[in-house]
Amino acid sequence: MHNFWTACGHQHLKLNERGWMTPTPDYWRLWLERPEMALVPESCKAEKRLHKALFETPAMQVAPADLKALKDDDARQNYKLFLRFRDDVQNAGSLESAYMGWMRSGQIQLPPLFIDLVVQAIVCNVLTGVNDAWVWRAAELLFRRQRITVQEGRVLSGDSDTLDNLQATGGLGEMGRLLMEGGAPLKAVDVKVLHKDNEERYLAQREGLGRYAFLLDLTHEIQNELPHGLILKMVNARSGLKALSAVLALWVEHFLGVAVQIEPVQKVDDPAWRWHVGLDATATALLNDLYQGAELEAKRQQQLISLFKLRFERPQDMRVDVQGKPVYLGLAMTEQGLLKLKPQNLLLNLPLPDKI
């Protein structure tokens, strides 16, 4: 594993016989050090005692009376959520098993932050041995919301929280925010599209604002204007869509144990279209309408970032009634240009013969 993304705690997880991630005491200690759980000067004596006890014995059972003794309501709620999360993972035996349990339940009672950090840690496991910067950057889509912009025909994906922070603070944190509020000019923060010239810089980044300050090009084709008015269309050799396809295929195999091939496509021209999966809420609605033969308004069509074709390497791994048929995937942004990919959709909605 690369030694970045350490905030998700992957370095404190061990692999079981199946190759899934099991927590160690240091994994839970890292959670106790997060801003939501860390002690502050205002922490009461009961909270300090509880925090110290959990830090020494992360798996200890906490009595309701110990939680009731906390004076701060927010702190009490944070501890309840942490303990629910910890117990879910411990009882499931691994992060992967807990994640599948939450997704299959349909009633997730944990904050999105918890789920995103779990997915991030699992992605580190999925990408073990991979050194391709595009694949790692594409994997960020599985657990971090993206802001999509179209510039000169190029579809660029940037980390939403990072871009908002940079816009608000000039990349200088709270000091930058205060300076901007005071009208002080700030030097523009350097946000680059991931390219062969900066891929090593991406892989060398550690935690902090710069960790997610690289844009990913999700363009299918690049158009070059030639003399005499000719336009040459070329496949984008470094499209992030190909990298995302690789990540999603590894994701499916890791959880479901089935090998699939995924490739981006620009349209679905298949009269025998039988199965599709939206990779986010917007794409699900778009694909459902397309499947029903509905005409999409131009505005909705522009929200579609890409389509993908998924094929099972072993048709017998599919349901009998659709064996050998491709599964079409969709990726789309909201009207506000935001993308929140739901990687669980691939695990729950593929045409498998039996639930795995």
| Same domain assignment for residues 196 and 263 | no
| Same domain assignment for residues 118 and 19 | yes
Expressed in angstroms, the distance from the first to the final Cα of the chain is 27
The domain of 103 spans 6-126
What mean pLDDT comes out for the span 237-263? 94
| Same domain assignment for residues 10 and 83 | yes
| Same domain assignment for residues 147 and 92 | no
Q: Is residue 100 part of a domain?
A: yes
Q: Given a cut of 80, is residue 27 above it in pLDDT? A: yes
| Same domain assignment for residues 182 and 168 | yes
The residue from 210, 235, 260 where one domain ends is 235
| Same domain assignment for residues 219 and 271 | no
What pLDDT was estimated at residue 246? 97
- Give the tens place of pLDDT for each residue, 255-306: 999 999 999 998 888 888 899 999 999 999 999 998 888 888 888 888 999 9
| Same domain assignment for residues 142 and 48 | no
**For the chain, how many structural domains are there in total?**
3
- Give the tens place of pLDDT for each residue, 76-120: 999 999 999 999 999 999 999 999 999 999 888 899 999 999 999
- b/e per residue 12-42 (b: at least 16 CB within 10 A): bbeeeeeebbbbeeebbebbbeeebbebeee
Q: Is residue 256 part of a domain?
A: yes
What pLDDT was estimated at residue 276? 95
Q: Given a cut of 80, is residue 232 above it in pLDDT? A: no
3-state secondary structure of 256: helix
What φ, ψ does residue 111 adopt, rounded to 5°? -65, 150
The residue from 235, 251, 273 where one domain ends is 235
What φ, ψ does residue 223 adopt, rounded to 5°? -100, 130
Residue bearing the bigger pLDDT, 197 or 226: 197
| Same domain assignment for residues 226 and 253 | no
Q: Is residue 355 part of a domain?
A: no
Best CA proximity match to 95, nearest among 116, 121, 113? 121
The residue from 218, 235, 252 where one domain ends is 235
Q: Given a cut of 90, is residue 320 above it in pLDDT? A: yes
Q: Given a cut of 90, is residue 65 above it in pLDDT? A: yes
* Angstrom distance (rounded) from CA 127 to CA 233: 32
Q: Given a cut of 60, is residue 229 above it in pLDDT? A: no
Q: Is residue 64 part of a domain?
A: yes
| Same domain assignment for residues 225 and 315 | no
SS3 letters for 19-86?
CCEEECHHHHHHHHCCCCCCCCCCCCHHHHHHHHHHHHCCCCCCCHHHHHCCCCHHHHHHHHHHHHHH
* Angstrom distance (rounded) from CA 212 to CA 141: 11
Q: Is residue 295 part of a domain?
A: yes
| Same domain assignment for residues 214 and 276 | no
Q: Is residue 356 part of a domain?
A: no
Residue bearing the bigger pLDDT, 233 or 16: 16
Q: Is residue 36 part of a domain?
A: yes
What pLDDT was estimated at residue 174? 46
- CB atoms near residue 114 (< 10 Å): 20
**Of 63-72, 113-122, 148-157, the least confident:** 148-157
| Same domain assignment for residues 113 and 10 | yes
What pLDDT was estimated at residue 154? 86
Instruction: State percent of the chain over pLDDT 70.
Output: 86
pLDDT band at 242 (very low <50, low <70, confident <90, very high): very high
| Same domain assignment for residues 16 and 120 | yes
Q: Is residue 1 part of a domain?
A: no
What mean pLDDT comes out for the span 33-52? 96
Count helices and strands in the chain by DSSP H and E runs? 14, 13
By residue count, the chain amounts to 356
Q: Given a cut of 90, is residue 341 above it in pLDDT? A: yes
What mean pLDDT comes out for the span 345-352? 96
Q: What is the mean pLDDT of the chain?
A: 87
Q: Given a cut of 50, is residue 152 above it in pLDDT? A: yes
